[in-house]
Amino acid sequence: MSHNDDSYTHGTGRNDQDLYRFDIQNGAVVRVQEWDEGRWKSERMDADEVYTLEGTDVIKTEIETYGREVTRYVDPEGDGLYAKFSEQWLPATNATGGMTPVTTQTLYSRGGDTDDHLAVRPGQDPALGGQGSDTFVVREWGHVVIGDFHHHQQDRLVFDMGQGVQSLEDLVQRLTDLRWQGDDLVLEMGDQASVMLLGVRTNGIAVEDMDFLS
Ligand SMILES: [Ca+2]
Ligand SMILES: [Ca+2]
User: Could you state, in order of their start, the residue ranges of all structural domains in the chain?
Assistant: 3-91, 107-212
Q: Judge whether residue 20 has pLDDT over 50.
A: yes
Residue 116 C-alpha to ligand 1 middle, in angstroms?
5
Residue 204 C-alpha to ligand 2 middle, in angstroms?
12
Average pLDDT, rounded, for the chain: 91
At 208 the pLDDT is: 97
Residue 174 C-alpha to ligand 2 middle, in angstroms?
27
Residue 104 C-alpha to ligand 2 middle, in angstroms?
21
What pTM was estimated for this model as a whole? Answer: 0.88
pLDDT in tens, 114-145: 999 999 999 888 999 999 999 999 999 999 99
Share of the chain above pLDDT 70, in %: 90
Q: What is the DSSP string of 124-152?
A: SSPB---SS--EEEE-SSSEEEES---GG
Query: Which ligand has its closest atom nearest to the C-alpha of 154?
Result: 2
Residue 135 C-alpha to ligand 1 middle, in angstroms?
8
Size of the chain in residues: 214
Residue 157 C-alpha to ligand 1 middle, in angstroms?
13
Q: How many other C-beta atoms lie within 10 A of the C-beta of residue 28?
A: 11
CA-CA distance, 138 to 214, in Å (whole number)? 10
pLDDT in tens, 143-190: 999 999 999 999 999 999 999 999 999 999 999 999 999 999 999 999
CB 198 within 8 Å of CB 126? yes
Query: Which ligand has its closest atom nearest to the C-alpha of 9?
Result: 1
